[in-house]
Structure 1
Amino acid sequence: MALHLTGSGQMTQRQLESALWSAANALRGPVDPGDYKAYVFPVMFFKWISDNWDYQHAQAVKEFGENLTEEIEADYHPFVIPDACHWHDVHETSINVGAKLATCLQRIQQANPELAGVFGDVNWANKDRLPESALVALLDTFHSVRLDPDSVSGDMLGAAYEYLLREFAEASGKKAGEFFTPRHVVHLLVRILDPQPGESIADPACGSGGMLVETVNAVRNAGGDPRTLRLHGQEVNLTTAAIAKMNLYLHGLDDFKIVRGDTFREPKLLDGAALRKFDVVIANPPFSLQNWGAEAWTKDPYSRVICGVPPAKNGDYAWIQHMVATMAGQTGRVGVVMSHGVLFRGGKEAAIRECLISKDLLEAVIGLPGNLFYSTAIPVCLLIFRNAKSQDRKGKVLFIDASARYQASRNQNTMSEHDVEVIDAAYKKGVDTDGAAGLSVRLVDVTEVQANGYDLSVGRYIKTESGAEANVEAAIAAYREARHQLTAMDMTLETKLKAAGFDA
């Protein structure tokens, strides 16, 4: 693929994105589109490390010439590339290319402990899974793309990475919910939480790291120094955790902590034996997670059972309580994306909801439009919690119906930058300052919520046509969710009966 650069020698954003998407398309056929990310991102990151090593080497030679020593040059390189493990060593390999690539990626991780796990767990040598011809085509496409600072700025590379995430999400459909949150939703939630320089940020279900990257963008755009942020994330999926690390590195960040593991069964963002506390806790966790580990929460050693153990078949309020438990004292705030079911479901969840409201931790419920996500068409909401509410919001909950603030598109609806600004302003001021259609705002006293049985359905407090539609969709979603759980229970029962010798 021939690339035509600008006069400055840099690719344009469009050229870069086109080149990267061409690399992904080299896998078309033998690799399922939903798995592109597992192959493309590690190769892209390897190329980035190699190209930057060459760039840094040229700088060292230019500055020291014949006086350059290994010790001096080492200071120029943030990452070590072992002998025979540079990009060109792999690209020039003619047979068993996958085995050579696997060896080099492993040796790079060993030489740079901070990169442990960053390349994922693909078996590059498995020619049945990834034919050598497809791997060679992938390498050839990347070979023509220079990813050093002379060719691609850090902002361009970060934006291109997000472009690939978005394209892979579209290609993988419902599987995208495992790793990708639409940019406009992330942008809105981060604006609402308003991260400040020097604060600590955590995402306990960090996926590809989009929430953390957006906090950096928000601080930078406000004129602050994003390097002062302390970024933390935990992700259960190995490939996705690796993508998150690469995402942060490619956005020019190197001071962060991404850990892999089950947040419920083995939280790893700790301060000694206790949960670490953060100024901002933000997440779009998997909705209605089954078998999330309720049995261990009856005696949770991390004090996350603030208001009760959630149902074993639905981990929504486990996410919420985990996040609330990790809020720092006076500064702590939580922003979480949830399905509308958390607003009105009964049983154990109703008791937890009542408790959280009674403790005056819930600040706002924001109903968003439907069909914003790749993984579900149902409408979602944002729940905002604070340890210390402002005086005018104590004993109250702010309800915002933004279900009509969207632009329809072919696959998913989107929210424009103006939509995001209007919703954020409504949250911060407690009123609709825009005056345009599609937004309703009301600050409700907790006594009214109590009179409604602690039901938080937006339509109970804001009587609008869009609110009614959202409630109907939410009710349908809850019905489907219950049917799905019933089907799963039936299958489990049938399996146990057969194992016991009964013919079900």
Structure 2
Amino acid sequence: MIDSAKYQAQAGALSQKLWAIANDLRGNMDSVKFRNYILGTIFYSYLSERTEDYMQEILKEDGLTYEEAFADAAYRPVVEQWSIEHLGYIIRPENLFRELVRRIVRPESDADRFSVEDYERAVNELTGSTMGQASEAAFSGLFNDMKLQDPDLGDTVADRTTLIAKVIVKISEIDFSFADSQFDVLGTAYMILIGLFASDAGKKSGEFFTPAAPSKLVAMLATAGLDEAKTVGDCTCGSASMLLEVQKHLTTGRVGHFYGQENNATTYNLARMNMLMHGVDYQHFDIYKGDTLREDKYGDVKMTVQVCNPPYSLKYDANPALLDDPRYSGAGKLPPKSHADYAFVEHMIYHMDEDDGRVAVLLPHGVLFRGGAEEVIRKYIVKDLNRLDAVIGLAPNLFHGTSIPVCLLVLKSQRNGNSENVLFIDASKEFKPGKNQNTLEDEHIRKIVDAYVNRVDVDKFAHVAFMDEIEANGWNLNIPRYVDTFEEEEPVDLESVRRDLKRIEVEKVEAIAKVESMLKELGV
């Protein structure tokens, strides 16, 4: 059980330390850039520590250290092969993170003194070790955004060395393995940095960060009643936070394989880092770079669970040739150029496992009622495919970069006795107000999930609408058509109001007379 107070204290302290590192780089470059150096270095330190832990375990019976085994001509090929097969990469002993720190803090000689070029070589050797291996796709280009020769770090090697050395030392001083930690400290450090820079990143490169609470709600709804999932996907995966959240809410926590696609190059790299940092083996995930709407990297893969928070009302080319794509051909219409929302939904429906596929996706409310091609697609999904299981309206201002209220659609390939109805939930009042952003608390999430699982009418909150009711509404899914939230006002006592008005009029006349009397006494 998480101790909330301790969690807040530890997360707050970690956030301050990470921000202090960022301040060393502030002024040299914009925040999106210096975030990349911090995250890249945290990731390198993680891979280094993982190497040390693994080597200590497999060499303990031989009574050797990693350095000793690597220096032995007979052992070295063996430990390299073990490292490639089990970790997916090789970090040579002299390139271990603690060795870089030692050479900064306690160099044995001038020749032993750290240089930024040493760090660059170490990173290149790590990624180079994966070339031609099964792990290549997982590691290729992961450090591309950490450009250690960037003039923004300094004009000379010495200047760049000074700045990067500060980052390395400060990261080495952060305890990423608190014995009493209330969270995955390394993973949380990563998410804190994304959160710190989310707004800036959003303005500069279109990145979108889904806060933890909405991610949790999406994952809980998508996994309700599931013990495990063969495949889990997110077609606009961002930093992969929602993909990882799904695993937490499966009864066994078992996921066969993760799939994701992300168009932003930097975020694509961050997603792969995040998967590895959260202990997902490189053999158990595939994150692809590319535009989901134009290029389906999944192929014929079918998903048990899909979660998604796509860019809202994205403009796209709506090329008629897309109607030849099996993802979009069913409805016979493409979403309008100005609103790609349903294109993402159709993509996910295409990749649903027919036996027990689930989708939970966040979208703007317009998808519920807009006409034209969207109305045709909506009717196709609800009536012809019968995949829509629930429509949930959320509170406004829950997300970075937008204050609009959004809705959450839950779709299932097997409706399990609910094929004749759709559940509507109005959760627009379920939030904790905040100065800059509202938040979903655990109590709000639990109320929504309970209503989804119980699937019964709840006054002014939930309604099970049968298909004839939805058809009578012209396949319009606007939540107020189904959940009546009208609060009847108390009846007004007109006679009492009349008496109050008369009393107020008398008091006003008396007050005016009193003031005029006082003014007369003053000679005004």
- The TM-score bracket by the shorter chain reads 0.7 to 0.9
In the alignment, the residues of structure 1 paired with residue 53 and residue 414 of structure 2 have an alpha-carbon distance, to the nearest angstrom, of 49
Q: Does 1:375 align with 2:410?
A: no
Q: Which residue of 2 aligns with 1:201?
A: 232
Q: Which residue of 2 aligns with 1:304?
A: 328
Q: Does 1:87 align with 2:97?
A: yes
In the alignment, the residues of structure 1 paired with residue 59 and residue 416 of structure 2 have an alpha-carbon distance, to the nearest angstrom, of 57
Q: Which residue of 1 aligns with 2:24?
A: 26
Q: 1:251 to 1:16 in 2, by over 3 A?
A: same
Q: Which residue of 2 aligns with 1:42?
A: 40
| The 10-residue stretch of structure 1 (323-332 or 81-90) with the greater mean CA deviation from structure 2 | 81-90
Q: 1:98 to 1:376 in 2, by over 3 A?
A: farther
Question: Structure 1 length as normaliser, TM-score?
Answer: 0.79
Does the 8 Å CA contact 2:237/2:262 hold for their aligned counterparts? yes
Return the letter of the residue paired with 2:451.
A
Q: Which residue of 2 aligns with 1:216?
A: 247
Q: 1:362 to 1:185 in 2, by over 3 A?
A: same
In the alignment, the residues of structure 2 paired with residue 165 and residue 309 of structure 1 have an alpha-carbon distance, to the nearest angstrom, of 34
Q: Which residue of 2 aligns with 1:137?
A: 166
Alignment counterpart, residue 257 of structure 1, candidates 269, 286, 300: 286
Alignment counterpart, residue 458 of structure 1, candidates 475, 479, 493: 479
In the alignment, the residues of structure 1 paired with residue 432 and residue 182 of structure 2 have an alpha-carbon distance, to the nearest angstrom, of 31
Q: Which residue of 1 aligns with 2:340?
A: 315
Q: Which residue of 2 aligns with 1:8?
A: none
Return the letter of the residue paired with 1:213.
L
Does the 8 Å CA contact 2:382/2:388 hold for their aligned counterparts? yes
Q: Does 1:386 align with 2:412?
A: yes
Does the 8 Å CA contact 2:198/2:207 hold for their aligned counterparts? no
Q: Which residue of 1 aligns with 2:150?
A: 126
| Counterpart mapping for 1:390-409 below 5 A | 390-391=416-417, 393-409=418-434
Q: 1:419 to 1:403 in 2, by over 3 A?
A: same
In the alignment, the residues of structure 2 paired with residue 96 and residue 318 of structure 1 have an alpha-carbon distance, to the nearest angstrom, of 51
SS in 2 for 1:400: strand
Does the 8 Å CA contact 1:31/1:130 hold for their aligned counterparts? no
Does the 8 Å CA contact 2:229/2:305 hold for their aligned counterparts? no
Superimposed CA distance per residue, residues 46-87 of structure 1 (whole angstroms, 9 cap, x where no aligned partner): 111123333444445543225953255443672301475443
Measured after TM superposition, the shift of residue 421 of structure 1 is 0.5
Q: May I ask how many residue pairs the two structures share in their alignment?
A: 442
In the alignment, the residues of structure 2 paired with residue 231 and residue 44 of structure 1 have an alpha-carbon distance, to the nearest angstrom, of 23
In the alignment, the residues of structure 2 paired with residue 180 and residue 107 of structure 1 have an alpha-carbon distance, to the nearest angstrom, of 32
Return the letter of the residue paired with 1:464.
T
Q: Does 1:448 align with 2:473?
A: no
| The 10-residue stretch of structure 1 (66-75 or 251-260) with the greater mean CA deviation from structure 2 | 66-75
In the alignment, the residues of structure 2 paired with residue 151 and residue 418 of structure 1 have an alpha-carbon distance, to the nearest angstrom, of 26
Does the 8 Å CA contact 1:344/1:350 hold for their aligned counterparts? yes
Q: Which residue of 1 aligns with 2:517?
A: none
Q: 1:39 to 1:465 in 2, by over 3 A?
A: farther
Q: Which residue of 2 aligns with 1:348?
A: 373
Does the 8 Å CA contact 1:52/1:149 hold for their aligned counterparts? no
Return the letter of the residue paired with 1:163.
I
In the alignment, the residues of structure 1 paired with residue 169 and residue 320 of structure 2 have an alpha-carbon distance, to the nearest angstrom, of 50
Q: In terms of Rg, which structure is larger?
A: 2
| The 10-residue stretch of structure 1 (139-148 or 343-352) with the greater mean CA deviation from structure 2 | 139-148
Q: Which residue of 2 aligns with 1:233?
A: 260
Q: 1:430 to 1:243 in 2, by over 3 A?
A: same
Q: Which residue of 2 aligns with 1:53?
A: 51
Cα-Cα RMSD = 3.0
Measured after TM superposition, the shift of residue 364 of structure 1 is 1.0
Alignment counterpart, residue 242 of structure 1, candidates 269, 285, 288: 269
In the alignment, the residues of structure 2 paired with residue 169 and residue 139 of structure 1 have an alpha-carbon distance, to the nearest angstrom, of 23
Q: Which residue of 2 aligns with 1:7?
A: none
SS in 1 for 2:310: coil
Measured after TM superposition, the shift of residue 244 of structure 1 is 0.9
Superimposed CA distance per residue, residues 83-131 of structure 1 (whole angstroms, 9 cap, x where no aligned partner): 7544366554799955554443233112122311322434331113667
Superimposed CA distance per residue, residues 338-392 of structure 1 (whole angstroms, 9 cap, x where no aligned partner): 011111112111111121111222111100000000021000000111112121x
Identify unmatched segments of 5+ residues in structure 1.
1-10, 467-504
Q: 1:162 to 1:459 in 2, by over 3 A?
A: same
Does the 8 Å CA contact 2:238/2:267 hold for their aligned counterparts? yes
Does the 8 Å CA contact 1:45/1:246 hold for their aligned counterparts? yes
SS in 1 for 2:247: helix
SS in 2 for 1:26: helix
Instruction: Give the share of equivalent positions with the same residue, in percent.
Output: 31
Measured after TM superposition, the shift of residue 331 of structure 1 is 0.3
SS in 1 for 2:324: coil
| The 10-residue stretch of structure 1 (96-105 or 333-342) with the greater mean CA deviation from structure 2 | 96-105
Alignment counterpart, residue 358 of structure 2, candidates 322, 333, 340: 333
